[in-house]
Structure 1
Amino acid sequence: MSDEWKNKLQKYYEGNLTEEEAEEVERDLEKLNAYQEVISEELDAEAEYQPDDLPPEKVNKILNNSMRNAKFSLAAYVIMILLLIYPILTLASYIYYAWNQKAEDLIQVPIQTVYITEPNVSLEEMDIERAFGLFTFEVTMDLYKRVGKSDIKQGDWEVTYQYDDAEFPQRNYISENPPEAIPYYDTKKLYHPEAAITNRDMAAWNRLERLPEGTVAEVYVSLDELIQPENAKEVIEDVDVEWRWYAIDTGLEASGKSLDGGYLAPIGYPAQPDPDAWSPYNGREPNDEQFMESLVFLKEYEEQATNIAHAKWLDLDYRINYIEKHGLHAYGGVITGPAKEILQLRDNESIRTISIGEVRLWNW
Structure 2
Amino acid sequence: MTEEWKTKLKKYYQGKLSDEEAKEVEADLEKLDAYQSVIDEELDADEHRDDAALPENDLPDGKAAKMVRSSIRHARFSLIAYVVMIVLLIYPVMTMASYLYYGWGNKANRLIDAAIETVYVTEPNVSLEEMEIEEEVGLFSLDVNMDLFKRIGDKDIKLGDWEVAYQFDQAEPPSRDYITETPPEDIPYYDTKKLYHPEASITNHDTDAWDTLEKLPEGTVAEAYLSLNDLHQPDSMREITEGLDIEWRWYAIDTGLEASGKSSEGGYLAPIGYPAQTDPDAWSPYHDGKPNAEQFMDNLRFLEDYEQQAVDIAHAKWLDLDERIDYLEGHGIKAYGGVVTGPSKEILKLQDNESVRAIYLGEVRLWN
Distance in 2 (alpha carbons) for counterparts of 1:87 and 1:212 = 61
Aligned residue for 2:284, secondary structure, equals coil
* Match in the other structure for 1:161: 166
Structure 1 unaligned runs (5+)? 1-44
1:141 equivalent to 2:142? Answer no
1:348 equivalent to 2:359? Answer no
1:93 equivalent to 2:98? Answer yes
Distance in 2 (alpha carbons) for counterparts of 1:213 and 1:67 = 81
- List aligned pairs for 1:69-148, cutoff 5 A: 69-148=74-153
Measured against aligned partners, the alpha-carbon deviations of 1:25-57 in whole angstroms (never above 9, x if no partner) come to: xxxxxxxxxxxxxxxxxxxx99xx75x421222
Aligned residue for 2:129, secondary structure, equals strand
* Match in the other structure for 2:195: 190
Letter aligned with residue 366 of structure 2: L
* Match in the other structure for 2:236: 231
Measured against aligned partners, the alpha-carbon deviations of 1:234-256 in whole angstroms (never above 9, x if no partner) come to: 11122221110000011111111
How far 1:68 sits from its partner (Å)?
1.5
1:264 equivalent to 2:269? Answer yes
What is the root-mean-square deviation of aligned Cα atoms in Å? 1.5
Measured against aligned partners, the alpha-carbon deviations of 1:123-174 in whole angstroms (never above 9, x if no partner) come to: 0111111111111111110100001110011000011111111111000000
Letter aligned with residue 153 of structure 2: G
Aligned residue for 1:70, secondary structure, equals helix
* Match in the other structure for 1:214: 219
How far 1:343 sits from its partner (Å)?
1.1
Measured against aligned partners, the alpha-carbon deviations of 1:194-247 in whole angstroms (never above 9, x if no partner) come to: 100011111211111111111111100000011111111111122221110000
Structure 2 unaligned runs (5+)? 1-50
How far 1:275 sits from its partner (Å)?
2.3
Distance in 2 (alpha carbons) for counterparts of 1:207 and 1:59 = 89
How far 1:308 sits from its partner (Å)?
0.5
Distance in 2 (alpha carbons) for counterparts of 1:244 and 1:153 = 16
1:338 equivalent to 2:343? Answer yes
Instruction: Give me the TM-score of the superposition, normalised by structure 2.
Output: 0.84
* Match in the other structure for 1:40: none
Aligned residue for 2:363, secondary structure, equals strand
Aligned residue for 2:259, secondary structure, equals coil
Q: Which moved more, 1:65-74 or 1:332-341?
A: 65-74
Distance in 1 (alpha carbons) for counterparts of 2:204 and 2:169 = 38
* Match in the other structure for 1:318: 323
* Match in the other structure for 1:174: 179
Distance in 1 (alpha carbons) for counterparts of 2:125 and 2:279 = 12
How far 1:85 sits from its partner (Å)?
0.6
Distance in 1 (alpha carbons) for counterparts of 2:154 and 2:281 = 16
How far 1:276 sits from its partner (Å)?
2.1
Distance in 1 (alpha carbons) for counterparts of 2:264 and 2:158 = 34
Q: Which moved more, 1:114-123 or 1:68-77?
A: 68-77
* Match in the other structure for 1:243: 248
How far 1:80 sits from its partner (Å)?
0.4
Aligned residue for 1:53, secondary structure, equals coil
Identity of aligned residues (%): 66
Aligned residue for 1:264, secondary structure, equals coil
Distance in 1 (alpha carbons) for counterparts of 2:288 and 2:121 = 16
How far 1:329 sits from its partner (Å)?
0.8
Q: Which moved more, 1:307-316 or 1:233-242?
A: 233-242
How far 1:190 sits from its partner (Å)?
0.1
* Match in the other structure for 1:304: 309
Distance in 2 (alpha carbons) for counterparts of 1:245 and 1:288 = 12
Match of 1:282 among 260, 283, 287: 287
How far 1:185 sits from its partner (Å)?
1.1
Distance in 2 (alpha carbons) for counterparts of 1:62 and 1:144 = 69
Letter aligned with residue 115 of structure 2: P
Runs of 4+ in structure 1 off by over 6 angstroms are none
Aligned residue for 2:224, secondary structure, equals strand
* Match in the other structure for 1:5: none
Aligned residues: 317
